[in-house]
Structure 1
């Protein structure tokens, strides 16, 4: 190119070497229009469609994200409500269990008191029965001893059973009467 500039300067042309020739401008313009037309009709619609699809996908994802966020917030509110209900129900269950426990304890105390009263009554009845058996046994032994003693003191045999039984009963009755009279005199 440097040679062309030097040759042109030597010929004496006054033309500017930086400005292209007219045919270069025309053919460049034709090529530019063809490329522009090709770009405008084929490439640009595909790029525009791709951008539109991408914009729709982004908007769809944003809508899905908003929907998911609303669902998550609703689920959180529902979870919070269920948690509050569960806490209230747990409190009620604890109170019911506490009341049932107190009721069971009271029932067990009542049952224990009733059992203790029954055992005491049974023991009292058994003691009374043993006392009666002891009194009967003592009467017969005391009666026999009293008859033997009376026979020894009197010097004759007391073999009449009816008479001996009457004497023993009268002796024991006098003995019981003196026992009852002695504690009441001590109390006064």
Structure 2
């Protein structure tokens, strides 16, 4: 506390004491000279490379931005090209599928047309076979009826009639039964 009191006392008495905040005049002059010398050296030696580096960096960034923009435009063009190719491929696929369907339908119609005569022939053959079987069945039925009628007639008449008369009687009987 003694030093504080002595400082206050010396300040009031007018004694010149040095202020720690305000520098001496010779320090200000030498500091200013050093500052300006350093400023000039920096201005001449350091500022041009710094400017060149900044300009190179700016140009590189601008070049990268331009390259990115051109790459984006190219990518958009490629995408549009691929989209159009995909659309063309889909249209071509649809056309090929439609042609295949038409060809399959034509083959089906052709095969049906080729088989129709065979089907008609087989149907006619089946009808002829059915008619022949019906005729055979009728002939068998007639022969069975003939033998039954002969047997019945022999029992009824019990007399012997010649063969021609038998056949005539049977034929008349069959005609009556058939009608």
Q: TM-score, normalized by length of structure 2? A: 0.60
Question: Equivalent of 2:89, from 86, 89, 99?
Answer: 86
SS at match of 1:77: helix
Q: TM-score, normalized by length of structure 1? A: 0.58
Partner of 1:99: 102
Q: Relative to structure 2, which stretch is displaced further, 110-119 or 69-78? A: 110-119
SS at match of 1:80: helix
Question: Equivalent of 2:130, from 122, 127, 131?
Answer: 127
Q: How many residues align?
A: 160
1:175 aligns with 2:175: yes
Q: Relative to structure 2, which stretch is displaced further, 68-77 or 137-146? A: 137-146
Per-residue deviation, 1:95: 2.9
RMSD: 4.4
Per-residue deviation, 1:106: 4.5
SS at match of 1:156: coil
Residues 108 and 7 (structure 1), Cα distance of their counterparts in 2 relative to 1, 3 Å cut: farther
1:142 aligns with 2:135: no
SS at match of 1:155: coil
